[in-house]
Amino acid sequence: MILGWLFANVLWIGLASMAASALSGRRPLSGLGWALFAVHWLKQPAHYLAIGDHFNVVLTLAVAAVSIYLGWIILAGRSTSRSCDWATSAVAIGGFAYFPFAEIDLLREVLIGGTAALTLLLLHALDVPAVAGGGSVIALYGRSVEIVLACTAIESIALFAGVVLSVQAPLKRKAAALLASVPVIYGLNLLRNAFVVVAYGGGWFGDNSFYIAHHVIAKAGSAVALFAIAYIVFLLLPELLEMIEGLASEIRRGGGEPA
């Protein structure tokens, strides 16, 4: 019974261990957190295999491998820089910003519903005659688009929130970096959703309108926007680049000599 509960809640226990380490400075809690975080990701490939998503199978296994490696570096006392501590804090903050919406139905529905409502308001502001199609569906000219969790940009928002809030830098610059990323990402995401609805509803690209609008143009635009936002964040917080370089160095050499 207890083991089953622990296995089912391994994600939350891992994130809590990371948060406790960030607050207390106790590195063994960080190492434990990374190990439990790895267990969470090792649970995911079975789901992706069942739906034939081989890319995410490889991705989740890679994340699990990196988590195990970082956990080992920390628990073996081989971490010689602040980079692993920063990464632990970033994952704890980003994880608690993202996973409640991914794992808790009520929160997920509220976020998706709110994003769908704001997307519809934006379309109306642009004089587009879109209508609510029930739930998180938006319809235009007889064609419907459903807003799902990936359409809320919560992943990118959580990522930037985690890396920005966890870095040691003056509060003023951290606040500026946060304002330059989180609200901008969400606003651009609403524009992205509106574009997909209009392009698909209007049949801009023929029979492949949804695929081209969503999977090609919108994804390419999102990538360019995120790179631009990341560049601005690095300008505001050069400490981030130092932390990332330090973490990459720790991973390459497996940490330093045991402390």
3-state secondary structure of 149: helix
Q: What is the pLDDT of residue 255?
A: 56
> Regarding predicted confidence, which is higher, 39 or 259?
39
What pLDDT, on the 0 to 100 scale, is given for residue 202? 92
Supply the pTM of this predicted model. 0.89
Q: Which of 76-80, 88-92, 165-169, 196-200 has the lowest mean pLDDT?
A: 76-80
Centre a 10 Å sphere on the Cβ of residue 145 and count the other Cβ atoms it contains: 26
Q: In whole angstroms, what is the distance from residue 23 CA to residue 36 CA? A: 18
N-terminal to C-terminal alpha carbon distance within the chain: 38
Instruction: Give mean pLDDT, residues 177-190.
Output: 96
**Residues 95 and 15 sit within 8 Å (Cβ to Cβ):** yes
What pLDDT does 254 receive?
A: 66
| pLDDT (mean) for 56-66 | 91
Average pLDDT for 126-130: 94
Q: What is the pLDDT of residues 223-247, one digit of tens each?
A: 999 999 999 999 999 999 989 888 8
What pLDDT is attached to residue 78?
75
User: For residue 107, is pLDDT > 90?
Assistant: yes
- Give the confidence band of 31 by pLDDT, cuts at 50, 70, 90: very high
**CA dist list (Å): 163 to 72, 195, 236, 243:** 22, 29, 13, 10
Residue 163: pLDDT above 50?
Answer: yes
Tell me how far apart the alpha carbons of residues 102 and 158 are, in angstroms, rounded to a whole number.
12
Computed over every residue of the chain, the mean pLDDT equals 91
pLDDT of residue 3: 74
Structure tokens of 226? 């995120």
pLDDT 10s digits, 208-222: 999 999 999 999 999
What percent of the chain shows pLDDT beyond 90?
A: 71
Tell me which of 6-10, 123-127, 193-197 is least confident.
Answer: 6-10
Segments making up each domain of the chain, as ranges: 105-245
Distance CA 109, CA 107 (A): 5
Q: 133-146: per-residue pLDDT in tens?
A: 888 999 999 899 99
The yes-or-no verdict on residue 52 having pLDDT over 90 is: no
Please give the pLDDT value at position 259.
46
Cα–Cα dist 122/124, whole Å? 5
- The reported pLDDT for the residue numbered 47 is 84
CA distance 204 to 212: 9
